[in-house]
Amino acid sequence: MLTIDTHAHVFSPDEKTFPPRENPSRPPAGSGSLGRLLDRVERHEVHGVTLVQVSGFYGFDNRYLCAAAEANPHWTAGICTLDPADERSPELLKSYARNANVRGMRSVPAGGKRLDHPGVRALWKTAADEGLVVNVLGGYELEEQIEALLAAFPDLPVALDHCLGLRSGGTNERTLAALGRLARRRNLHAKLSFIANGAAGCPDGFPCGGFWETVLEVIDIFGAERCCWGSHFPTEKYARRLTYGQHLEIYRSRLPLSAEARRRILGETARRLWFPEMDARPPA
């Protein structure tokens, strides 16, 4: 079955060539390297990965993200993050799309506050012009602003990173309600990368079983054709209750999904969005 991981962060061991931001958020030593990701991809027969710019480590400096994606076009696609308050960002996005195997952009609020902002809209327009996918990172509080942007760009494919931050013990009732309203926009997709945020286990001891019903609710809201799996690699930092293999196994065999839903969630939705030319052969 075609399998595509739609959410991985990678970190270069060469911090002289690719320096981190001030006070970076570090993964455990060695856990976030591209080589370690490739090991997981090969071991678990994953066919492709979207590499998402790790802003907590590199900020808006996308040089390593672009270098990694450009060097591995047969199995990766880059998702950059740009500063919407910087007027140079749309041209940078255009250059990354044309020259660095970047096929998407993670959209963040301008100045950390406003998502529906002229600078954000300029980036969304560039993404639409270049045939890219926009990822949105934020919580349910951004619902109205996300809705306004989806209405303004109805043909632009958009994916919600971590589904507005669903987590055990969080504001899930409000978040699920917001997801239900936003899902009426057919250009919106859901990344099912948040399952490790569920604390309780299943009776057989498998991790995070207490959150599986929430995942199924999201799939019901969007339909499997608009849902995609993401590991949140390195799991040692971002999904610590699960190994990479366990994260994937939940979607491959543990969740009570139809064969068609499983096929869409594991690979077909992601292929349509980021890898339209990919076949079902694992990376060489």
Select from 92, 82, 91, 146 the least CA-distant residue to 114: 146
Select from 188, 187, 208, 181 the least CA-distant residue to 197: 208
The one-letter amino acid code at 192 reads L
For residue range 151-196, what is the model confidence (pLDDT) as tens digits?
Answer: 999 999 999 999 998 987 768 999 999 999 999 999 999 999 988 8
Q: What is the DSSP letter of 106?
A: E
Mean pLDDT score, 186-215: 80
For residues 206 and 253, is the Cβ–Cβ distance under 8 A?
no
pTM: 0.95
3-state helix, strand, coil in the chain (%, to 5): 45, 15, 40
Q: Does domain 4-13+28-274 have CATH number 3.20.20.140?
A: yes
Q: Which two tokens stand for residue 186?
A: 């057919």
Sequence ranges of the domains in the chain: 4-13+28-274
Mean pLDDT score, 195-220: 78
Mean pLDDT score, 253-279: 95
Q: CA–CA separation, 37 vs 42, rounded Å?
A: 9
The pLDDT value given to residue 271: 98
Q: CA–CA separation, 27 vs 30, rounded Å?
A: 8
For residue range 78-119, what is the model confidence (pLDDT) as tens digits?
Answer: 999 999 999 999 999 999 999 999 999 999 999 888 999 999
The pLDDT value given to residue 116: 97
Q: CA–CA separation, 10 vs 21, rounded Å?
A: 15
Share of the chain above pLDDT 90, in %: 85
